[in-house]
Amino acid sequence: MTRYELPPLPYDYDALEPHISEQVLTWHHDTHHQGYVDGWNSAEETLAANREEGDFSSSAGAIRDVTHNGSGHVLHDLFWRNMNPDGGDEPTGALADRIEEDFGSYGAWKGEFEAAASAAGGWALLVYDSFSNRLRNVVVDKHDQGALWGSHPVLALDVWEHSYYHDYGPDRGDFVDNFFEVVDWEEPSARYERAVDRFE
C-alpha cells in the first residue's frame, strides 16, 4: 500500500516574511499539513483492513476521510509550490493570455479570485476546467466541498484561519493582498500548460 509523506517546504520557514511569518509556516506545514498526510494514511489503512476482513461497517467514513485528507494534502502541496520569496509579479506567457481571454483582464481575474477568497471556508482556486476548456475561479469549502469535476488546480490559496490569524488577525483581505506579494507564477504557468497539453 502506498504511504503518503509530507514533502519539505521548497524554501526556508522564514523565507516568505514579512508576508507570512516563520511561525505560521512552521505550524501550518509541520502540524496542519502533516495532519492531513497522517489522516490519509490512516484512512487507507482502514480501507485495506476492511477489504481483507470483509467488514465494511467503517468503510464509508474512511472513504470520506480519504477525500478530505487527500484533498488537504494535494492542495497544501500546491499552495507551498505556488509561493516563492522572489514572487509577486503578474503571470506572463500562455497563462497570462488565457487569463485575459477567459476573464477579460488580469485585474478582472484577480478581483474575482479575491471575491472567492473572501467567501471560501477553505480555499480559493484558479482551475483549468477540462470539460468547458477554460479557466475558472472556484470557492472550495474545507478541502473538497465545491470542487468541480474535471478541473485541475492551477493556483491555490488557503484561507483557513490557521493560514493567517496569527499574522493578520481577522483581516483575511490583508492576508490575501500579501499572498500576491509572494505568488510565483512560474509554477502555476507550468501546471496550466501541462493540463492544456493533456486535454486540448
Please state the residue numbers annotated as binding site. Answer: 28, 76, 158, 162
Question: In this structure, what DSSP letter does residue 5 have?
Answer: -
Name which of 180, 152, 168 is nearest 75 in CA terms.
Answer: 152
Question: In this structure, what DSSP letter does residue 10 have?
Answer: S
Task: Provide the grid cell at 178.
Answer: 500579501
Beta strands in the chain (DSSP E): 122-129, 134-141, 151-158
Task: Say if residues 63 and 42 touch (Cβ distance below 8 Å).
Answer: no
Measured distance CA(99)–CA(104) in Å, rounded: 7
Measured distance CA(168)–CA(172) in Å, rounded: 7
Measured distance CA(86)–CA(111) in Å, rounded: 23
Query: Which residues fall in the annotated binding site for Mn(2+)?
Result: 28, 76, 158, 162
